[in-house]
Amino acid sequence: MKLADRIAAPQGIEAEMNPFAIAICSVTISDGACIDQHLADQCTLYAVHIQNALTGRSWVVYRRYSDFVLFREKMAAHFQNSIEIVPKAFNSIMMLRFPKKKPFPRKSTLHHREIGFLQFLRNVHDILLDQEYYLHRDISCVGFAILKSFLGSRLHPHYANAYFINKTIPQHKLPLQQRLCVIQCGSLETVLEEPDLTTRKKRIKSEAVIEMSMTASLASDDDHEYNNVPSSTKSHHSQSKPHHGINIKRLRPSHWFSTTIR
């Protein structure tokens, strides 16, 4: 790789800003413990948690109410300029619900804002990923730049510098009490597709011992029942056709309790 390519390639969180891979996980009120306390005391800050669903890397940006308003205005202006090309996306943006401004919000109001801001950001993200919009590359690149700048990207200073706090905090640097569970696409467990040789030998030996004991027990029960019947019945039984039952040795241990032996 050439030196110019290494310089131009995004690094750190910038490399995780793929709009088709990021997920907006949560919006919560924060005390601003990871930023300048003087800035945190000036207003209510909302911690926006973002994660790249492909790499698993996550980070947090802090935004105040006016930052959300500014983000909404930038998005509305962008879609207003493209209304003739993407009218559906413009109508969808304008119909999104947004938390109202109140001079002295109560705790319950702040909680409703958390839910409202999260839903708003996710809806905007969905609109940007709509096929009708993102296939217009000359337009969608601007919308993605506005979104990524709000989520912590610094590649577009025209949008990023407009927000109150530009610092981005990796998830692992947050205080323990603020490390919320990040929503992921799914949970995968490490499973051995084929057990090792020692485990297989033990399992086969255990199954063989159980099968032999079951076969011996069934044979003993048959002999006991045969010795208790009259002699005339024994002779008739010996001349009858053999009974085609289930071969016990062919049954796996997991089937013993689900199959009735006749």
Which CATH number covers residue 36? 3.30.1520.10
Q: Using CA atoms, how far apart are residues 221 and 206, in angstroms rounded to an integer?
A: 23
Q: Evaluate whether 124 touches 116 at the Cβ level (below 8 Å).
A: no
Does 60 lie in the same domain as 124? yes
CA distance 101 to 256: 67
Q: Are residues 36 and 129 in the same domain?
A: yes
Residues 43 and 129 in one domain: yes
pLDDT of residue 167: 83
Both 46 and 145 in a single domain? yes
Q: Residue 79: pLDDT above 90? A: yes
Residue 260 falls within a domain, yes or no? no
Q: Are residues 170 and 211 in the same domain?
A: no
Same domain, 174 and 205: no
Per-residue confidence (pLDDT) for residue 164, from 0 to 100: 82
Last residue of a domain, one of 178, 212, 227: 178
Say if 50 falls within a structural domain. yes
Residue 99, pLDDT score: 93
Q: Who contacts 120 (Cβ-Cβ below 8 Å, separation ≥6)?
A: 68, 72, 96, 97, 98, 99
Would residue 261 count as lying in a domain?
no
| 122 or 53, higher pLDDT | 122
Beta bridge partner(s), residue 27? 48
pLDDT band per the 50, 70, 90 thresholds, residue 66: very high
Number of domains in the chain: 2
Residue 186 belongs to a domain: no
Asked whether residue 167 is domain-assigned, the answer is: yes
Residue 1 lies in a domain: no
**Considering 148, 178, 208, which residue would you say is the last residue of a domain?**
178
Instruction: Say whether both 129 and 219 belong to one domain.
Output: no
- Is 125's pLDDT higher than 50? yes
Count H helices, E strands: the chain?
A: 10, 4
Q: Is pLDDT of 246 > 60?
A: no
- CA distances from residue 179 to 30, 40, 49, 58, 174 in whole angstroms, order as listed: 11, 18, 10, 11, 6
Domain boundary among 144, 178, 212: 178
Per-residue burial over 103-134, b = 16 or more CB atoms within 10 Å of its CB, e = otherwise: eebeeeebeebbebbbbbbeebbebbeeeebb
Residue 236, domain extent: 197-255
pTM (2 decimals)?
0.64
Q: Are 131 and 72 in a shared domain?
A: yes
pLDDT at res. 232: 54
- Asked whether residue 2 is domain-assigned, the answer is no
pLDDT at 188: 40
Do 206 and 101 belong to one domain?
no
Measuring CA to CA, how many Å separate 244 from each of 18, 46, 132, 237, 241?
Answer: 64, 73, 66, 14, 9
Whether pLDDT at 43 is above 50 = yes
What's residue 23's pLDDT?
A: 93
Q: Are residues 142 and 89 in the same domain?
A: yes
Of the two residues 172 and 187, the one the predictor is more confident about is: 172
User: How far apart are the two ends of the chain, measured CA to CA in Å?
Assistant: 72
Residue 248: which pLDDT band, with cuts at 50, 70 and 90? Answer: very low
- Confidence (pLDDT) at 102: 81
Helices 137-150 & 107-128, crossing angle to 10 degrees? 150
For residues 139 and 189, the model is more confident at 139
Residue 210 has a pLDDT of 65
